[in-house]
Structure 1
Amino acid sequence: MPKEQGRKMIAQNKKARHDYHLEDTYEAGLVLQGTEVKSLREGRASLVDGFVDIDGGEAWLHAVYIPEYLNGSWTNHAARRKRKLLLHRAEIEKIERRVSERGLTIVPLALYFNDGRAKIEIALAKGKKSWDKRQAIAERTADREKEQALGRHLKGMQD
């Protein structure tokens, strides 16, 4: 059987991109149990409530929902258990420094398979205020309207 190639997306956290200003992103490996991998291969996961905590020089992923594997037995995993992230020590220390001194948080953005290995993309993030969110929505709407007007103009249609 050929080895998996490329990147296969499992879950994205679109809410995080809306609720936070994202600064730096990192790719980390995950320590998973066998039934978790099987459940992920079925494309079942949710990152919405997830967050990352650094404890004792190790990064831990909390509150990410990976449902139990349907064909699993008594060896099934807990759906919301904390999972260890695999990062280099220098990356963990850099992230921990930035979180402690600047009041940032670490949020998961995407969960995917990269060449057959489960990876998670995490980001250092700062919370947005409600007016920031409204401003982002207004900018997106204005950009969409400009594109539509340009398209109508190029087609020779009147507004």
Structure 2
Amino acid sequence: MSDKNEGYKVVSDNRQARYLYEILETYEAGIELTGTEVKSIRAGKANLQDGYALIRDGEVWLINAHISPYTSSGQYFNHEPRRTRKLLLHREQIRKLIGKVEQQGLTLVPLKMYLKRGWVKVSIALGKGKKVHDKREDIKRRQDQREMQRAMKNY
């Protein structure tokens, strides 16, 4: 019980987002969910892989994030796996995001979904799409780091 009150547990991590986008800013947002969605997330059945966020009518929406239906309840009370969910942010944050998304052509990408003090939170980021040569540079840098670690380990 004490770890629930203190830290947070990562439920879903979108690792591909850091590869496809250059992350500029991150925001923590609450998410509007139904009961079966919360139960499913607590069981670790969430996937942010194809998800993205949009701003419509001054509200931020999480689109295409998959939360599996809860298995222990009947189908009647269950939720739609890929339904559009509302993200909860402060008005000032939404205004700032609107300006950056519309003027600079940036994308809102969910990075991870986690439980923080019993609440489900989503970390969203302002991202700028990477070009192919940037992705190649990242791969080279990662391989160089691994080789340096191996060399240090051997000596």
TM interval, shorter chain, is over 0.9
Unaligned ranges ≥5, structure 1: 154-159
Summarize the Cα distance change of 1:20–1:3 in structure 2 as closer, same or farther, 3 Å threshold: closer
> Given that residues 65 and 80 in structure 1 are in contact (C-alpha distance below 8 angstroms), is that contact kept between their aligned partners in structure 2?
yes
**What is the RMSD computed on CA atoms of the aligned residues?**
1.3
Q: State which of 140, 143, 146 in structure 2 corresponds to 1:144.
A: 146
Q: 1:2, CA displacement in angstroms?
A: 6.9
Cα distance in 1 between the residues matched to 2:98 and 2:30: 18
Q: Deviations over 1:103-125 (max 9, x none)?
A: 10000000000000000000000
Q: 1:143, CA displacement in angstroms?
A: 1.5
Q: 1:152, CA displacement in angstroms?
A: 2.3
Cα distance in 2 between the residues matched to 1:42 and 1:83: 19
Q: Deviations over 1:124-153 (max 9, x none)?
A: 001111111111000111121122223323
Structure 2 residue aligned with 1:88: 90
Q: TM-score if structure 1 supplies the norm length?
A: 0.92
Moved runs in structure 1, 4+ residues, more than 3 A? none
Structure 1 residue aligned with 2:129: 127
Structure 2 residue aligned with 1:9: 10
Q: Which amino acid aligns with 1:78?
A: E
Q: TM-score if structure 2 supplies the norm length?
A: 0.95
Summarize the Cα distance change of 1:3–1:148 in structure 2 as closer, same or farther, 3 Å threshold: closer
Cα distance in 1 between the residues matched to 2:56 and 2:3: 35
Summarize the Cα distance change of 1:148–1:3 in structure 2 as closer, same or farther, 3 Å threshold: closer
Structure 1 residue aligned with 2:33: 32
Cα distance in 2 between the residues matched to 1:148 and 1:34: 47
Cα distance in 2 between the residues matched to 1:67 and 1:27: 22
Cα distance in 2 between the residues matched to 1:48 and 1:151: 34
> Given that residues 3 and 116 in structure 1 are in contact (C-alpha distance below 8 angstroms), is that contact kept between their aligned partners in structure 2?
no
Q: Does 1:112 align with 2:114?
A: yes
Q: Which amino acid aligns with 1:84?
A: K
Cα distance in 2 between the residues matched to 1:20 and 1:108: 11
Report the structure number with the largest CA radius of gyration. 1
Count residues with an aligned counterpart: 153
